[in-house]
Amino acid sequence: MRWGGTLFYFYLAAISTLAIFVAAGTLIGARTSDPRDYSLGGRKSSAAGVTGILLGALVGGASTVGTVQMAYSHGMTAVWFTLGGGIGCLLLGLRFAVPLRNSNITTVADYLAKSYGGKESICGRSISLTATISSTLGTFISISAQFLSCIALLKGLFPISSSTASLLAGFSIIGFIAAGGLKSFSTLGGAKIILLYFVLLSCFVMAIANGGTFSFVASQLDADLWLNPFGRGFVPEIGYLASMIVGVFTTQIYIQSLAAAKDAQTAKKGAFASALLMPPMGFLGAWVGLSVKARGIEMRPDEVLSWFIMDSFPPFLGGIIWGGILITVIGCASGLILGISTNIVKNLIPEKFIQKHSDSEIMIHRMLIGAIVAASALAGITGAGSMILEWSYLSMGLRGAGTFLPFAAAVMRPDSLSPKWALASSAAGLSGTILWGLSSLPGDPLFAGLAVSAACVLIGFKSKKQYI
């Protein structure tokens, strides 16, 4: 840090950037009174709105703080998160966006239930419950990763404890999203992506200006290790990629973004735009981490991004840059929290209760949001300082291990998979992933879960020979 007495201007710019976004979310949300507006934005979102929701919830602490942290510690392996997310969005646009939007279904669990016997059947209810549990558990881990990122950003700037940093992050998240639901998130998510591109491009330019050219980085670090996306081995890196792809397909808020579109073609365009915009973010962030490592600067990996911003930019601009990163993390956490609350309201709380208290549905959402924020804040405090991307990959894997294949079958080959084998695939995939991970066996737990899930799907296809 080289600012001395000018630190005040950094604080002013950072706080102002955060305050503008929080205030905007509150003002937009103040006009939200319809539960459908709250959870789906009234199904009126444009392609830009869909992109704002999808990337707003997909790009957060893992794509920024976590990517810089991973690159500083392990090199170009850090790009797999955003690359996998981009591929997932591309596949959504190519094959999934249109049928999902045309279904008029809000949640992944509802789509599975409808495809495999309906909620009146045992299989339909059971697979809906399995999908809801896996999605909720996995998404909660990802929200905790956003708190880890917030803690790292705040502690890199302020002399505060992890508990205080987590508390500040929680209040900011509630202010960002609780008032307006998906309606405000759609608008602010798009603005957040524009701000984030400005931030990451600025950081990349400053990294180059500070000597972090390709030739310099290659000369200071082992290029075969640090500049190789497979630096930690082919299987682990492909595992990270696979977890991102399956996670995109089975995360409530990502599918919710498609449901919020005004029509199927709009949903498709939003997915394609997200696929184009996400991968470059990872490279830009990774290069910041690599450039700091190449300069021989030693520090806590999770505080590299905060240090870089304070070291590289004039105070006022640095404050905007740092505030933009924090907004990105807060916005991502907000979207994921909204996805969990929607899942719980639609799939875990009895429908009769919701109908009886329909006037209070938005309040139920807001109470759930408060509870999720509190639990995630505690998890973030417990895990402070750990590798953020590892939490995110684990999160994506848990979401997709049991749900991805029966969900893909329901979309791409309707009525081709028997309900009982769809349920078996879902339960076996989730159980296999968890048990493999707990047993410390070699290989990626996700691949084990997907393997047993795939075996069940193949048997299920054969049980309905007319579709083979």
Q: Angle at CA 403, nearest 5°, toward 62 and 261?
A: 70
pLDDT score of 466:
44
What is the length of the chain? 468
Taking CA atoms, 366 is separated from 173, 177, 317, 362, in Å, by 12, 9, 34, 6
pLDDT of residue 32: 52
pLDDT of residue 5: 56
DSSP label at 8?
H
CA distances from 67 to 70, 74, 151, 205, 290 (A): 5, 10, 15, 17, 10
Non-local (6+) Cβ contacts of 218 within 8 A are 227
Give dist(CA 204, CA 289) in Å, integer.
10
Question: Could you tell me if 188 and 179 are in contact, meaning their C-beta atoms sit under 8 angstroms apart?
Answer: no
Taking 3-state DSSP, the helix, strand and coil percentages for the chain, each rounded to the nearest 5, stand at 80, 0, 20
Question: 263 phi and psi, to 5 degrees?
Answer: -160, 175
Flag whether 449 is in a domain: no
The verdict on residue 46 lying in a domain is yes
Task: Assign residue 326 the CATH number of its domain.
Answer: 1.20.1730.10
The Cα–Cα gap between 40 and 182 comes to 6
**Structure token digits, residue 296:** 């021989």
d(CA 48, CA 449): 35
Tell me if 419 is assigned to some domain: no
Q: Report the sign of the C-alpha dihedral through residues 449, 147, 244, 176, in that order.
A: positive
pLDDT computed for residue 467 by the predictor: 39
- Cα–Cα distance measured from residue 69 to residue 61, given in angstroms and rounded to the nearest whole number: 10
**Which whole-number Å values give the CA distances from 367 to 337, 342, 464, in the listed order?**
11, 12, 44
Number of domains in the chain: 1
Bridge partners (DSSP) of residue 261 are 45
Tell me whether residue 240 is in a domain: yes
CA 157 vs. chain centroid, Å, equals: 24
Is 454 contained in some domain? no
Residue with tokens 């639901």: 181
Residue 148 lies in a domain: yes
pTM of the model: 0.85
Provide the domain limits for residue 11. 4-401
DSSP three-state, residue 261: strand
> In a structure prediction context, what are the per-residue pLDDT tens digits for the chain, which is 468 residues long?
455 557 788 888 888 888 887 677 666 655 555 555 544 545 667 888 888 888 877 888 888 999 999 999 999 999 999 999 999 999 999 988 898 888 877 778 888 999 998 888 899 889 988 888 888 888 899 999 999 999 999 888 888 899 999 999 998 888 766 555 555 555 666 777 888 899 999 999 999 999 889 999 999 999 888 999 998 888 889 988 999 999 898 887 788 888 888 888 999 999 999 999 999 999 999 999 999 999 999 998 988 999 999 899 999 999 999 998 998 888 788 878 877 887 788 777 776 776 666 666 667 777 888 899 999 999 989 888 788 888 888 888 888 888 999 999 999 888 889 899 999 999 999 999 989 888 877 778 889 999 999 999 999 887 665 433
In this prediction, residue 218 carries a pLDDT of: 92
Distance CA 87, CA 438 (A): 29
Q: Does the residue 393 lie in any domain?
A: yes
Q: Is 408 inside any structural domain? A: no
